[in-house]
């Protein structure tokens, strides 16, 4: 099966790696600029080289994985059986990507979106085929969960097919009904948002908030470090979607979260967020 990954950032490159490491899959890693796609490919090469250095993979196996990945713009997806869109969490961007892909990919190519919170039904409206949600978690090459979401026009057999593909690439699929934030982010991101409010109010410093949640709730990572890992811009986008879709002010993004994102302090990927990584 040939799989196109549309978006070569942190999530896209991780998803591409998960497919490339599975027998029977070839990958097309794409972005809006060739250099962005190449940067994502470089991340995968680095990860594979690390696995080889730790003797988790043989050199031959690592080379074989890398050779299965083709890099470029969206037009290299012309022979794909499945495309997974991994673009910014903006409805109009995702809709436009799929609209353009209709004229590139075969008529029977499956459209899947890695959206973390947006309506699958709205993403797929006005398209010539249904869309299915295939939501991975960061780091996508290692995290086992995939939320599989059907919209109003998504056939049940398509949902089942994506669940089976998820299993083939070593993931555990959970079928989720369409709702703002789905399951994980509907629970997780409001918790992160409240942790930011607690920190901003001075109830405890950032390390204190995380230590309390690690030791008091047996979390493997504190919510503030997790926010930096996910990306504060991603957390903000998800909170905005949940708030807009539900109309419930308990989902209002924390003011401090907005301030950090506006300042370009997005977390680990920029070297600074709630914590400093420089």
Question: Which residue, chain included where needed, has tokens 């690690």?
Answer: 214
Cα separation, 122 vs 216, in Å, equals 40
Active site residue 58: no
Residue 13 annotated in active site: no
List the catalytic residue out of 13, 116, 119, 166.
Answer: 116
DSSP 8-state secondary structure symbol assigned to residue 141: T
Check: CB of residue 232 under 8 Å from CB of residue 257: yes
Catalytic option among 74, 113, 147, 166: 147
Does 147 participate in catalysis according to the annotation? Answer: yes
- Closest CA relative to residue 228, chosen from 252, 251, 203, 209: 209
What would the two tokens of residue 1 be? 């099966």
β strands within the chain, DSSP E: 2-6, 26-30, 69-72, 82-85, 110-113, 131-135, 145-150, 172-177
- Three-state secondary structure call for residue 276: strand
User: Could you please report the per-residue DSSP string of 50-95?
Assistant: HHHHTTSS-HHHHHHHHHTEEEESGGGGTT-SEEEE---S-HHHHH
Active site residue 135: yes
* Active-site residue, from 47, 85, 135, 193: 135
- Spot the catalytic one: 47, 74, 113, 185: 185
Among 148, 155, 149, CA closest to 130? 155
| Catalytic (active-site) positions | 116, 135, 147, 185
């Amino acid at each position: 099966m040939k799989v196109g990954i549309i978006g070569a950032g942190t999530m896209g490159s991780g998803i591409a790696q998960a497919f490339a490491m599975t027998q029977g899959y070839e990958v097309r890693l794409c972005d809006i600029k060739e250099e962005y796609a190449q940067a994502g490919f470089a991340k995968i090469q680095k990860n594979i080289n690390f696995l080889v250095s730790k003797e988790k993979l043989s050199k031959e196996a690592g080379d074989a994985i890398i050779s299965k990945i083709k890099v470029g713009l969206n037009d290299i997806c012309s022979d794909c059986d499945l495309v997974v869109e991994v673009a910014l969490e903006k409805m109009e961007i995702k809709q436009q990507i799929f609209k353009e892909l209709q004229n590139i990919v075969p008529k029977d190519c499956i459209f899947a979106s890695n959206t973390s919170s947006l309506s699958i039904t709205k993403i797929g409206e006005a398209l010539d085929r249904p869309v299915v949600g295939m939501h991975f978690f960061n780091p996508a090459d290692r995290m086992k969960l995939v939320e599989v979401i059907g919209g109003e026009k998504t056939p049940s057999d398509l949902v089942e097919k994506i669940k089976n593909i998820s299993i083939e690439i070593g993931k555990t699929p959970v079928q989720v009904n369409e709702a703002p934030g789905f399951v994980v982010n509907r629970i997780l991101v409001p918790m992160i948002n409240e942790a930011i409010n607690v920190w901003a109010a001075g109830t405890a410093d950032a390390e204190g908030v995380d230590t309390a949640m690690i030791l008091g709730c047996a979390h493997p990572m504190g919510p503030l470090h997790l926010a930096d890992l996910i990306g504060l811009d991603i957390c903000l986008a998800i909170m905005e979607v949940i708030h807009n879709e539900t109309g419930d002010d308990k989902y209002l993004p924390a003011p401090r979260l907005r301030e950090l994102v506006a300042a370009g302090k997005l977390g680990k990927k920029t070297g600074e967020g709630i914590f400093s990584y420089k």
